[in-house]
Structure 1
Amino acid sequence: MSYATVEEFTSVIGNQETVELTNLDNPSATTVNSDRLQQVLEDASGEIDGYLATRYATPLEFIPSTIRTYCVDIAWYRLAQNNAPEQFATRYNNAIARLKDIEKGIMVLLDPTGFPLPKRLETNPLVDDRGNLLDDWSVAYVPGGEANLTRELLNVQDIYRY
C-alpha cells in the first residue's frame, strides 16, 4: 500500500514532469510509466513506515494529508535519482525531518476529526519491577502515594552534587 496514488503524484508534480521522471531511460516517452511510479511510491511509503512504526501501527489505515505530501516529496526525489535539483533535495530533507519529529513524538498525526491517531499497541510493553505498565506519561510508584524519595527508599549509596 502506498500513501499517495499515481494520480495524486501527477496532480502535484504535473503531468509533463511526471512523464519525464518516470521515463528517464526513454526520453521520447509521452505517457507516465505508471508501474515505475507506483513502485517508487510504495518504496517511499515503506521509508515513511520505518519512521512511523515507533509510534503508530503501520501501514496507516487513515492517511493524513501531511503523510501523502511526504510520500510525494520522497518519491519525487527518488525518481530524479542523481539528477535531483536542490529543490527536490530540500523537500526530501524537510519530509525526513518532519518524519523524525513524528518518530520522537514532537509532532503527532491527526485523524479527520482533529484528534491524534491512536498509538500502536506494544507487543512487549515496558513495565516496572512490580509489573505496572509504563507509558510516556508514567512516573515511578512511590509507597504511601507520596513523592517522598529518601535515601533508603531509593537505595542510593552516594548523592552527587552538581
Structure 2
Amino acid sequence: MAYCTKADLIDRYGERLLIELTDRGAIATGAIDDDVVDRAIAEADALIDGYCAGRYVLPFATVPVQIGPLSRQIAIYTLHVYEPNEKITADYKEAIRQLQQIASGTLKLNAEGVASSTTDAGGARVTDRERPMTEQSLKGWI
C-alpha cells in the first residue's frame, strides 16, 4: 500500500510541477508520466519502511497520519533530476530528520503492532541458590 498517491502530489504541489518533473520523453507530451511518479512514490515508501522497520511491524494496519506527508516530501524531492528549490530541499531534510526520530523512538507513531525494542538477552538476572557466605559459615571470622 502506497503512503501517498499521484493525486496527493497534485493537491500539494500542483499538476504543472509534476508535468515538468515527469514529462521526460524525447517528445514532450504535456502530461504526467504515471510510471515516473509511481517509481518515486515506491522509493519514498521503501525509505520510510526502512526507518520504521526497526520499531514497527510492517505493513501498517492503518497508515499513521505522519507518514503521508513524509512520503510526499520525499517523493517530490526524488522526482527532481536536478537540484530542487530550497523549500523542497528543506522539506526533504525535515522528513529525513523525522524518520530518524521515528527510528530512534523519540517520535512515536500511532500504529498498531509496535515491535518490542528489547529482547530477553538483557536486564538483571536473579539466581536462587544458597549464599556461600552466611553467619554460620563465617563463624570465627566475625
Please classify the TM superposition score into its range, dividing by the shorter chain length.
Answer: 0.7 to 0.9
Once the two structures are TM-superposed, the CA of residue 47 in structure 1 deviates from its matched residue by 0.6
1:82-109 C-alpha deviation (Å, 9 max, x unpaired)? 2211211111100000000010000111
**Structure 1: gaps spanning 5 or more residues:** 112-116, 129-133, 145-162
Matches of residues 6-155 of structure 1 in structure 2 within 5 Å? 6-25=6-25, 28-111=28-111, 117-120=112-115, 126-128=119-121, 139-142=123-126
- Report % sequence identity: 26
**Structure 2: gaps spanning 5 or more residues:** 129-142
1:62-89 C-alpha deviation (Å, 9 max, x unpaired)? 1122111000000110101322112111
- Matched residue of 1:83: which SS? coil
Distance 1:29 1:141 in 2: 68
Q: 1:39 to 1:102 in 2, by over 3 A?
A: same
Q: Greater RCO between the two (CA within 8 Å, min separation 6)?
A: 2
Q: Give, as a single letter, the amino acid of the residue that structure 2 aligns with 1:140.
A: A
Distance 1:27 1:78 in 2: 22
Q: Please give the TM-score of this superposition, normalised by the length of structure 1.
A: 0.69
- Matched residue of 2:43: which SS? helix
Q: 1:26 to 1:101 in 2, by over 3 A?
A: farther
Q: Please give the TM-score of this superposition, normalised by the length of structure 2.
A: 0.78
Q: 1:85 to 1:21 in 2, by over 3 A?
A: same
Contact 2:101/2:107, CA 8 A, preserved across alignment: yes
Q: Give, as a single letter, the amino acid of the residue that structure 2 aligns with 1:90.
A: A
Q: 1:103 to 1:73 in 2, by over 3 A?
A: same
Aligned-CA RMSD value? 2.3
Distance 1:27 1:11 in 2: 26
Alignment size in residue pairs: 128
Q: Give, as a single letter, the amino acid of the residue that structure 2 aligns with 1:126.
A: T
Distance 1:118 1:108 in 2: 12
Q: Give, as a single letter, the amino acid of the residue that structure 2 aligns with 1:47.
A: L
Distance 1:78 1:121 in 2: 32
- Matched residue of 1:82: which SS? coil
Contact 1:20/1:27, CA 8 A, preserved across alignment: no
Contact 2:48/2:99, CA 8 A, preserved across alignment: yes
Corresponding residue for residue 157 of structure 1: none
